């Protein structure tokens, strides 16, 4: 994105869906579609070849699922700059949480409004996670009521009290501005605490910070 153009790869097994997304994105200044793929394996090959800024990946595909493709992207140092946005037909799709755990930066419903899709691409390309408060709360309420997986979650001891507090608030779906208001600090300070927590926990982005908060037991679905 050095020239200001956001490079996007489309990975979806539905040709009509790819065509619709491509038509929308190609018509937008500042966005370039660098390629398409109809399954996860070919999508991964495309992404390794093109290293796009954003990969829009369907969650369920033949040959290799979107979740497995996301996991391999997140594990590849050469693809550290690629941000994955998972595409799903259902807002309550259990695969969404698995995708976030695998390293996705967020998710979009396939029937999202065109303006929302374009905004989402800009948000993720700017380094933020695509987890709006409403989406986060839906995800929490539907799929994170399971017992926390403390065996795989990083320890909380590396976080300061303030960092734990902002992490918990972010996991409940609050924006930086809302966190700042709640804690009576500036939005910049809230963002700084979030960034430090992400660094200490090795979180790729805010989405993974939310996953950590629930898996560690820092917050629970019932308390959201």
134-163 pLDDT, tens digit per residue, is: 555 555 555 555 554 554 555 677 888 899
Domain count of the chain?
Answer: 2
d(CA 15, CA 20): 9
76 shares its domain with 121: yes
109 shares its domain with 192: no
d(CA 209, CA 195): 10
The residue among 83, 98, 130 that closes a domain is: 130
126 shares its domain with 155: no
> Average pLDDT of 14-34?
91
Helix (H, G, I), strand (E, B) or coil at 211: helix
d(CA 110, CA 87): 6
User: What pLDDT is recorded for position 224?
Assistant: 40
Residue 207 falls within a domain, yes or no? yes
Residue 224 falls within a domain, yes or no? no
103 shares its domain with 32: yes
37 shares its domain with 125: yes
In this prediction, residue 118 has a pLDDT band, given cuts at 50, 70 and 90, of confident
168: domain CATH number?
Answer: 1.10.10.10
Residues forming beta bridges with residue 86, ordered by sequence position = 57, 107
CB atoms within 10 A of CB 147: 8
11 shares its domain with 83: yes
70 shares its domain with 173: no
User: What pLDDT is recorded for position 13?
Assistant: 92
The residue among 130, 165, 184 that closes a domain is: 130
The residue among 79, 100, 130 that closes a domain is: 130
> Average pLDDT of 16-32?
91
Q: Quote the DSSP letter at residue 63.
A: S
102 shares its domain with 176: no
d(CA 86, CA 213): 21
Supply φ then ψ for residue 63, to 5 degrees.
Answer: 70, -60
- Our CA angle for 167, 171, 174, nearest 5°, is 95
Residue 124 falls within a domain, yes or no? yes
User: What pLDDT is recorded for position 57?
Assistant: 93
24: domain CATH number?
Answer: 3.40.50.2300
d(CA 39, CA 47): 12
Residue 18, C-beta contacts closer than 8 angstroms, at least 6 positions apart:
10, 12, 36, 38
Residue 216, C-beta contacts closer than 8 angstroms, at least 6 positions apart:
148, 150, 153, 154, 155, 156
* 40-83 pLDDT, tens digit each: 999 999 999 999 999 999 988 889 989 899 999 988 999 988 99
* 173-209 pLDDT, tens digit each: 787 888 999 999 998 998 899 888 888 887 777 777 8
Write out the residue range of the structural domain in which residue 49 sits.
6-130
CB neighbour burial string for 192-205, b if at least 16 within 10 angstroms, e if fewer: bbbbbbbeebebbb
The percentage of residues in the chain with a pLDDT greater than 70, rounded to a whole number, is 81
116 shares its domain with 154: no
117 shares its domain with 157: no
Residue 5, C-beta contacts closer than 8 angstroms, at least 6 positions apart:
30, 31, 32
92 shares its domain with 12: yes
64 shares its domain with 165: no
């Amino acid at each position: 994105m050095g020239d200001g153009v956001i490079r996007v790869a489309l990975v979806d097994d539905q040709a009509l869906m790819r065509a619709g997304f491509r038509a929308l994105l190609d018509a937008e200044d500042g966005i370039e579609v660098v390629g398409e793929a109809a399954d996860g394996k070919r999508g991964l090959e495309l992404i390794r070849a093109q290293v796009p800024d954003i990969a829009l990946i369907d969650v369920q595909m033949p040959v290799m699922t979107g979740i497995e493709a996301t996991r391999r992207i997140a594990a590849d140092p050469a693809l550290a700059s690629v941000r994955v946005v998972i595409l799903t037909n259902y807002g309550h799709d259990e695969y969404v949480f698995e995708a976030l755990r695998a390293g996705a930066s967020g998710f979009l419903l396939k029937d999202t409004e065109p303006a929302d899709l374009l905004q989402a691409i800009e948000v993720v390309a700017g380094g933020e996670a695509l987890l709006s408060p409403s989406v986060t709360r839906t995800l929490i309420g539907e799929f994170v009521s399971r017992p926390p997986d403390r065996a795989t979650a990083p320890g909380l001891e590396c976080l300061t009290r303030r960092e734990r507090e902002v992490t918990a608030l972010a996991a409940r779906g609050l924006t930086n501005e809302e966190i700042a208001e709640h804690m009576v600090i500036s939005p910049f300070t809230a963002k700084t605490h979030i960034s430090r927590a992400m660094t200490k926990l090795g979180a790729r982005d805010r989405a993974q910070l939310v996953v950590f908060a629930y898996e560690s037991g820092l917050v629970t679905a019932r308390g959201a």
